[in-house]
Structure 1
Amino acid sequence: MELIFKIFLINLYLFTLNQAFNSNSVATECQKELCKLPFCSCGGNDIPGNISRDQVPQMVLITFDDAVTSLNSRLYSELFNDSRLNPNGCPVSATFYINHEYTDYCEVQNLYSRGHEIASHSISHSMGKGLSYEQWVNEVVGQREILSEYANVKVEDIRGFRAPYLSVGGDRMFQMLYDYNFTYDSSMPSRESDPPSWPYTLDYKMNHDCVISPCPGKSFPGVWEIPLTMWNGGGCSMSDACRYPEDSDGVYNLILENFERHYNSSKAPFGLFYHSSWFVHSHHKEGFIKFLDKIRNMNDVYIVTNWQAIQWIQNPTPLNKLKDFKAFQCDYSNRAKCENAQSCALRHNGIRYMRTSKPCPENYPWVTKTSLKKSSRN
């Protein structure tokens, strides 16, 4: 009976979409009576599912942009060690937006095997504002395919994207995400920080000002946006672009102040969006770790991937039932660690070394020349 009801809901939603949108419709103001979970969300500061605040987990989203290398992998092992667990006993996890050049795909595979989320950050890490639709496809879908081929990440697990430099490409970029079945984007800053907004879908008009243009103007049903909420006291949306004090306690206090703005209001997911280079400064790392160790002892805080957060929003589950919430579980026994890796020396503006457990390609994978035999772009 439950299955029949779910099928009915899906069919009802698809019918509603048919009535509300055509393939190139201009996005309109969100209509809460039509936009219903799990398929559609208006965002804003309303808690999904009308759950009482004391039963809502405060989700913390840690992300890292750019290449994964043998050097920054040591940092990730330190931050996400076995002692840092969520209240359900599962290890804390992060999302990695990975571009191609200099990436060690053996280390990417190891991150994936430990339950972290792997997402696309384009191949060449180019500014996106002027890219054509075809260029967006080659960059973003191409990197998804490279990650799958050389890091053994299932294509269907690469659901997310962040534009390099947060340089979004308007409707062309979002059309690419929609056409190639990406679940979400996380590239658009939001000034709506008091209280912070929950993630939303792009069925309707985005629910905050466009900070970095061009933003989407059309409707892209079912594509989620995880906005980069600007910080108070730091003047930034990427956390490593904030103006931090020069000591670890000051770093800790700035992060904690912005966390509490989420925790004490809408409980929208709190984002910690970084590049690994920020942690080179010892007081940055010390302040960050001090914050991590504070929140990991709070029984209503979960450090999860962006995809896990979306799954919670789609199916809001109170704290007293979270231990059995499937999306927050941590059985990754079907994800193999990288073994028997080889270092492939390939020509690309000099010599590039690419580690992978797969056979070395004949040529260095690049935009439109990924060296892959099969591609969803063909």
Structure 2
Amino acid sequence: MTAYTRVFIFCAIFVNVNSQKEKEAVEFVCPEGTTGNGNFADPATCRRFYQCVDGYPYLNRCPSGLYFDDISKYCTFKVEARCGPIPTTPAPITETPTDLALKCDPAECQLPYCFCSKDGTLIPGGLDPEDTPQMIMLTFDGAVNLNNYDLYKKVFNGKLRNPNDCPIRGTFFLSHEYSNYAMVQALAHDGHEIATGTISQQQGLQDKGYEEWAGEMIGMREILRKFANVSRSEIVGARAPFLKPGRNTQFKVLEDFGYIYDSSVGVPPLPIPVWPYTLDYKIAHECKSGTCPTKSFPGLWEVPFNAHYVETYEGGHCPYLDQCVLHNHDANEVFEWLQEDFTRYYDQNRAPYMMPFHTNWFQIKELERGLHKFLQWASNLDDVWFVTVTQALTWITDPRSLKALNNYEAWRCDKKDLPPAPCNLSNKCALSFKHPDTNFTDTRYMETCTECPNQYPWLGDSGGTGIPGKDNYIPDNLKRK
């Protein structure tokens, strides 16, 4: 076979493959009446979806490891993706409408203890946008370990600083499995906020009861206290696994155990983003998960997930940034996409711009480089502040104009009562672990600056004592004084 023949055959195959791809895209017909901004399931596979623009279908592939959910209309984890096409969207599960929260009453809902507005878009304190700091909240979900610690440290390398010359900080919603608690302690000591995910990240927790939620979230808080030396009083925020809040049950647990805020509620793509609000009144936007609280929880804050998207819907829309389809972009395109998404906040009502991530984002170099370009650009804006979630809420309870922020105590970086510095040589613990759903025992590894426990900490035994069911959580408001 001549070289010419081989090239000809290769080109023929290449053309045939691309023709086949084009044929697949052309054969998909966008539903009638679409406005051109719809995402639809690929009938052939959950790894892809079609984005219809002006009636023409563009084929998109979900980021590596994610699958298209035809109800939520974005890419998510395989275990929770509802594969399509689904003919009709099922109605969300709701509780019996008793003791429901009332609609927002601005006359009765006053800062610092209560905040709401008719559609959730009003700026606290009645400030004008140009007098309002544009807050950016960097949040990270899941375990912290060797897979991501150095990548996170590159974001927080001390070079990016706020207008008061303090280094930028983030908020970490920790889950238990595979977490390195010496690294978590180092993050806390550096001034980052530590909040709770859950111990097991189990599916279906939204349908479980009070004891299960307390075991997961309060147990996680205890693990952080025991093995990362972060005090209970410092852990005031929580996030439900897979952004599926536990209806009224989860929020009752948070209220009883002294949490200040939750950050689990998704907001659909809206032209104007929603500000954080207290749960004194009915939620002012659609509940994406269908499992939001329906009762009133006075003074408990919700820091919602505004959907990320651009005007053309290129890349789709997503709650977590790593769920948007940007993996085929170069670093400059990622930077421009983030810029456009951010500008919707900056040019309008200055609602806090939450940038939520899993480790996935940092595994793709173009995404990581694009993020660093965006962070550098944003940090050069005089009215942009990178804050933790708690720092953002502190400002919201007592809004101050931009001119008053350089000496704003809550955003200073000279805090003295930080968790202790991590040890120079941590304990590497090889621990026995028997998962409740299995019949065998295996070995789990955990790293901590405290003593190794007897066995791997888990639900019902956050201290790893080896005594099943040892934990018995009593709400703070019921403890004897």
Same fold, TM-score > 0.5, yes or no: yes
Matched, 1:338 2:422: yes
Counterpart in the other structure of 2:150: 74
Partner of residue 163, structure 1:
240
Q: In structure 2, what residue type is equivalent to 1:341?
A: S
Unaligned runs of 5+ in 2: 1-97, 435-441, 475-481
Whole-Å Cα distance in 2 between the matches of residues 60 and 291 of structure 1?
A: 12
1:294 and 2:382 are equivalent in the alignment = no
Deviation for aligned residue 1:376: 7.4
* Residue in structure 1 matching 2:460, options 361, 365, 368: 368
Q: CA separation in 2, counterparts of 1:25 and 1:309?
A: 30
Identity %: 39
Of 362, 365, 368 in structure 2, the residue corresponding to residue 282 of structure 1 is: 365
CA offsets 1:149-170 (integer angstroms, 9 cap, x no match): 1101111110111111112110
8 Å Cα contact 2:277-2:303 kept in structure 1? yes
After superposition, give the CA deviation of every residue in 1:64-86 in whole Å (9 maximum; x if it has no partner): 00001023110111011111111
Q: Distance between the aligned counterparts of 2:427 and 2:99, measured in 1?
A: 49
Alignment match of 2:114 (pick from 40, 54, 74)? 40
1:285-335: CA deviation from partner (whole Å, max 9, x where unpaired): 010000000001111001111111000100101111101211111124432
1:112 partner letter: A
Q: What SS does the aligned partner of 1:92 have?
A: coil
In the TM superposition, residue 192 of structure 1 has moved relative to its aligned partner by 5.7
Give 1:372 deviation, angstroms: 6.9
Instruction: Tell me the residue number matched to 1:242.
Output: 324
- C-alpha change, 1:74 and 1:160, in structure 2 (3 Å) is same
In the alignment, residue 329 of structure 2 is paired with which amino acid?
A: E
Are 2:208 and 1:131 equivalent residues in the alignment?
Answer: yes
Work out the CA distance in 2 between the residues paired with 1:55 and 1:118. 30
> One-letter code of the match for 2:473?
R
**Corresponding residue number in structure 1 for 2:126:** 50
Give the structure 2 partner of residue 20 of structure 1.
none
**2:318 partner amino acid:** C
1:359 deviates by: 0.9
Q: Which moved more, 1:278-287 or 1:339-348?
A: 339-348
CA shift for structure 1 position 206: 0.7
Q: Is residue 2:168 matched to residue 1:83? A: no
Contact 2:178 2:445 in 1 (8 A): yes
For 1:376 and 1:61, locate their aligned partners in 2 and report how far apart those are by CA, in whole Å: 34
Specify the alignment match of 2:50 in structure 1: none
Tell me the residue number matched to 1:254.
337
Q: Is the 8 A contact 1:192 1:208 kept in 2?
A: no
Which of the pair is proportionally richer in helix?
1
User: What's the offset of the Cα at 1:273?
Assistant: 0.5
The equivalent residue for 2:256 is: 179
Residues of 2 paired with 1:89 and 1:154: CA distance?
27
Q: How does 1:202-217 map to 2 (within 5 A)?
A: 202-217=279-294
Q: Distance in 1 between matches of 2:453 and 2:236?
A: 25
Q: Is the 8 A contact 2:261 2:301 kept in 1?
A: yes
Is 1:308 equivalent to 2:407 in the alignment?
A: no
Equivalent residues, number: 355
Q: Which has the higher contact order (CA 8 A, sep 6+)?
A: 1
Does residue 473 of structure 2 align to residue 377 of structure 1? yes
User: Separation in 2 of the partners of 1:62 and 1:375?
Assistant: 32
Change in CA separation of 1:192 and 1:251 when aligned onto 2, cut-off 3 Å: closer
Aligned CA distance change for structure 1 residues 181 and 147 (closer, same or farther; 3 Å):
same
Match of 1:28 in 2: 102
Q: In structure 1, the residue corresponding to 2:406 is in which secondary structure?
A: helix
Query: Which consecutive residues of structure 1, in runs of 5 or more, have no partner in the other structure?
Result: 1-23
Q: Measure, in 2, the Cα distance between the counterparts of 1:82 and 1:211.
A: 36
Would the alpha carbon gap of residues 153 and 352 (structure 1) be closer, same or farther in structure 2, given more than 3 Å must change? same
Name the SS for the 1:62 alignment partner.
strand
Output the amino acid matched with 1:210.
C
Partner of 2:448: 356
Residue 52 (structure 1) shift: 2.3
Kindly report the root-mean-square deviation, in angstroms, between the aligned alpha carbons of the 2 structures.
1.6
Are residues 1:327 and 2:410 paired? yes
- For 2:87, the equivalent position in structure 1 comes to none
> What letter corresponds to residue 141 of structure 2 in structure 1?
D
Q: 1:193 offset after TM fit, Å? A: 2.6
Cα offset for 1:213? 1.8
The CA distance in 2 between the partners of 1:354 and 1:329, in whole Å, is 33
Cα separation, 1, equivalents of 2:354 and 2:290: 21
Q: Which residue of 2 aligns with 1:96?
A: 172
CA distance in 1, matches of 2:298, 2:462: 30
Q: Tell me which amino acid in the other structure corresponds to 1:351.
A: T
In 1, the alpha carbon distance for the partners of 2:463 and 2:171 equals: 26
Paired with 1:281 and 1:48, the residues of 2 have a C-alpha distance of: 37
SS for the counterpart of 1:144 is helix
Q: TM-score, normalised by structure 2?
A: 0.72
Q: Could you tell me how far apart the structure 2 residues matched to 1:317 and 1:157 are?
A: 24
Q: Which amino acid aligns with 1:145?
A: E
Looking at structure 2, the residues matched to 75 and 25 of structure 1 have their Cα atoms a distance apart, in angstroms, of 46
Counterpart Cα distance in 2 of 1:309 and 1:269: 8
Amino acid in structure 2 at the alignment position of 1:314:
T
**Structure 2 CA distance for partners of 1:372 and 1:321, relative to 1, 3 Å:** farther
Normalising to structure 1: TM-score of the pair? 0.91
TM-aligned CA deviation for residue 276 of structure 1: 1.4
Greater Rg by CA: 2
Question: For residues 22-80 of structure 1, what are the alpha-carbon distances to aligned partners after superposition, in whole Å with 9 as ceiling and x for unaligned?
Answer: xx832010100000111101051211111222121100011100001023110111011
Distance in 1 of aligned mates of 2:178 and 2:416 = 28
Go from structure 1 to structure 2 and tell me whether the alpha carbon gap of 1:74 and 1:36 turns closer, same or farther (over 3 Å shift).
Answer: same
